[in-house]
Amino acid sequence: MTEKHTIYFAGRITGRRKYADLYQRIVEQLKTYGKVLTEHVANPTFEADEDNAGLTDVFIHDRDMDWLYECDVIVAEVTQKSLGVGYEIGRAVALNKHVICLFRSDSEKRLSPMVAGAVGENFFVYNYKEDQLPEIFAKHLK
């Protein structure tokens, strides 16, 4: 029987939403393992929605920190550089959360050593192809 998790999905929002479709496919898989607190990250029109909603920076930060406290696992798609995602990962480590970082192996970018080198008991980094995601999620979340 699959344990139900509370999952914080992190991915780049600011700037180009090149990976929004990928983020949506990841979130759909994560939802089979429990509750995803941050589904909005995978919403391709999110930036525009957020502008319309007029949320303040403090509101967004405090809401996301509450979700970080609440989650038991953070899954971060780190192929697209993002200050917000880096911050969330650091805060999650400080909270002793289970951290899974996903970096696309076909990317021509280099993952920061501050993430790639942080592997440990609760911190995992995968250079992945998309068809490997089901196996990765099953290993950590089943």
- Assign 21 to helix, strand or coil: helix
Q: Give just the sign of the alpha carbon dihedral 69, 5, 18, 125.
A: positive
CA distance 30 to 20: 15
**Of the candidates 111, 104, 64, 109, which has an alpha carbon nearest to the alpha carbon of residue 84?**
64
- Does 135 appear as a known binding residue? no
| 36 belongs to the binding site for ligand 5HU (CB under 6 A) | no
Q: Which of 7, 11, 73, 101 binds ligand 5HU (CB under 6 A)?
A: 11
Question: Quick one: DSSP state of residue 3?
Answer: P
- Assign 104 to helix, strand or coil: strand
Interhelix angle 57-70/83-94, nearest 10 degrees: 40
| 5 belongs to the binding site for ligand 5HU (CB under 6 A) | no
Residues 41-60 that bind ligand 5HU (CB under 6 A): 41, 50, 60
- Does 39 appear as a known binding residue? no
Question: Quick one: DSSP state of residue 2?
Answer: P
| 83 belongs to the binding site for ligand 5HU (CB under 6 A) | yes
Q: Which stretch binds ligand 5HU (CB under 6 A): 11-19, 20-28, 91-99, 114-122?
A: 11-19
| 88 belongs to the binding site for ligand 5HU (CB under 6 A) | yes
What number of chain residues touch ligand 5HU (CB under 6 A)? Answer: 15
**Known binding-site residue numbers:** 23, 88
Q: Which residues bind ligand 5HU (CB under 6 A)?
A: 10-14, 38, 41, 50, 60, 64, 82-85, 88
